[in-house]
Amino acid sequence: DAKTKAERSILGFLRSNDVIADSHQFASSIGIGHGELESVIKSLSAFQFIESQDVKKDKWLLTEEAKLYALNGSPEAQVFSAVPPEGIPRAELEKKVGSQIFKIGSSQAVKNKWVEIGKQLVSRKVENVEDTLKDLLKSIEDGKVREAIQNIFLQMGFEEMPTNNFVESSFWNFDALFQPQQHPARDSHDTFFLKVPSTTRELPEDYLEKVKQVHEIGGYGSMGYRYKWKREEAEKNLLRTHTTAVSTRMLYLLAQKKPFTPKRYYSIDRVFRNEAVDRTHLAEFHQIEGLICDRNLTLGHLIGVLNDFFASLGMKKLRFKPAYNPYTEPSMEIFSYHEGLDKWVEVGNSGMFRPEMLRTMGFPEDVSVIAWGLSLERPTMILYGINNIRDLFGPKVDFNIIKNSKICRLGPVFSYSMRNVPF
Ligand code: PHE
């Protein structure tokens, strides 16, 4: 029965994976209802076969009103469609579409210059219209950019990382990433530090000792940063500045597993930076991150994977520019050609994690990690042609932008296999 099937699937999956990050996705992947899965999770947890945690996720759902617009068109489009080419008396039009739709839709249709309300007749000013509101509502109904990206990762065989902790220690956000303690990003001008609780209680002691060593004197072919590493600095709590902090935790866990098993992980969640808010920057935004950990990976693999990933998002022309991150070498900024703007725009950052990071965790010498990160808002802005990020996220979002912007569909998802990656 369904219960036994769910039990088998959960235990079977957890035999070769650390976590089931999303019970909703898992339920649909094994073809049972979420309610059923939930009760099986609860009973397995009660018997201490597994540990489970309630995770809250934001999801956009259409109201009953919006569902009707997604189905029948926006009020203004409904009004427009009800106006015949020869025009129609106002009262008749109102009767045809209903007074509610007439009330909301007619003024917007006039504003859009779709119809004209004369003394006698309401008449068309254009032959046909594009109902972008309906398209946008439909795309929310189908999941918007976030879910599309999630699907791309799932189809590429990535597992989701658990990212539900916004508070992180400096250790996992910076130190474990071989980011020196004097780095400007660790200043309160760039990072939000916590007052209460200001420090973390738990850090893995053996590993911490190794991280200290590699900062101070180096190792694995590196001479280190040659300064006195301070534990107090690593203990400071902060709001994570990137989801790479979570990737680092996951990689550390993976490195402890023997024998080594290759993994592909992704996450999409919120990060925080203490920076001046302007048209392209926000103090909090969503970051998308992907990584592949395997033996003998090269920069060629990274470029191949990035091409596949961004092509799935409809960005087919990419260029890479050498960059610097304390934790990756080589590092590359990713640019995509924007047809509308007719120029190259930056869409993300990427690289191969440094041996100072991976070897300190305990990975074998031939294991490399290719990784990339980008903000969710960035491709959304590019794909929807929005040029001020505050129009997209935060208290100042203007519904008219959503109404007026053209729908942009994400392109087809390409099948992916490591063997196809060009060198
Ligand atoms: N952490 C980087 C950022 O915040 C993104 C990144 C992830 C870069 C992984 C390289 C590798 O921009």
pLDDT digits (tens, 9 = 90+) for 107-133: 999 999 999 999 889 999 999 998 888
User: Per-residue pLDDT for 26 more than 90?
Assistant: no
CA 410 to ligand 1 centroid distance, Å: 23
CA 283 to ligand 1 centroid distance, Å: 17
CA-241 nearest atom, ligand 1 = 4
Q: Residue 58: what pLDDT?
A: 64
CA 143 to ligand 1 centroid distance, Å: 26
CA 369 to ligand 1 centroid distance, Å: 12
Coil vs helix vs strand at 398:
coil
Query: Whose CA is closest to 235, among 279, 295, 175?
Result: 175
151/416 Cα distance (integer angstroms): 13
- Does the beta carbon of 348 sit less than 6 angstroms from any atom of ligand 1? no
Question: If 0-12 CB within 10 Å is exposed, 13-18 middle and 19+ buried, where does residue 375 land?
Answer: buried
Is 106 within 8 Å of 90 (Cβ atoms)? no
Is 290 within 8 Å of 371 (Cβ atoms)? yes
Average pLDDT over the chain, rounded to whole? Answer: 86
**186 Cβ contact partners less than 8 Å away, ≥ 6 residues apart:** 170, 174, 179, 233
416/353 Cα distance (integer angstroms): 22
User: Per-residue pLDDT for 396 more than 60?
Assistant: no
pTM of the model: 0.67
pLDDT in tens, 218-274: 999 999 999 999 999 999 999 999 999 999 999 999 999 999 999 999 999 999 998
CA 350 to ligand 1 centroid distance, Å: 6
User: Per-residue pLDDT for 188 more than 70?
Assistant: yes
Q: Where does residue 109 fall: left (phi above 0), alpha (psi -120 to 50 degrees), or beta otherwise?
A: alpha
Is 234 within 8 Å of 208 (Cβ atoms)? yes
- Does the beta carbon of 248 sit less than 6 angstroms from any atom of ligand 1? no
| Lowest pLDDT segment from 201-215, 274-288, 293-307 | 274-288
User: Per-residue pLDDT for 342 more than 70?
Assistant: yes
Q: Residue 100: what pLDDT?
A: 93
Q: Residue 421: what pLDDT?
A: 27
User: Per-residue pLDDT for 79 more than 80?
Assistant: yes
Is 154 within 8 Å of 413 (Cβ atoms)? no
User: Per-residue pLDDT for 136 more than 70?
Assistant: yes
CA-350 nearest atom, ligand 1 = 10
In sequence order, what E strands does 95-226 have? 115-117, 121-124, 159-160, 167-169
Q: In testing the pocket of ligand 1, which one of 240, 268, 289 has its CB within 8 Å of the most ligand atoms?
A: 289
Q: Report the pLDDT averaged over residues 340-352.
A: 86
Output DSSP code: residue 222: B
Please report the ipTM that was assigned to this predicted complex.
0.98
Q: Residue 337: what pLDDT?
A: 83
Q: Taking the CB of residue 130, how many other CB atoms lie within 10 A of it?
A: 10
Q: Taking the CB of residue 404, how many other CB atoms lie within 10 A of it?
A: 12
User: Per-residue pLDDT for 381 more than 90?
Assistant: no
Exposure b/e, 353-370, CB count within 10 A at least 16 = b: bbbbbbbbbbbeeebbbb
User: Per-residue pLDDT for 351 more than 90?
Assistant: yes
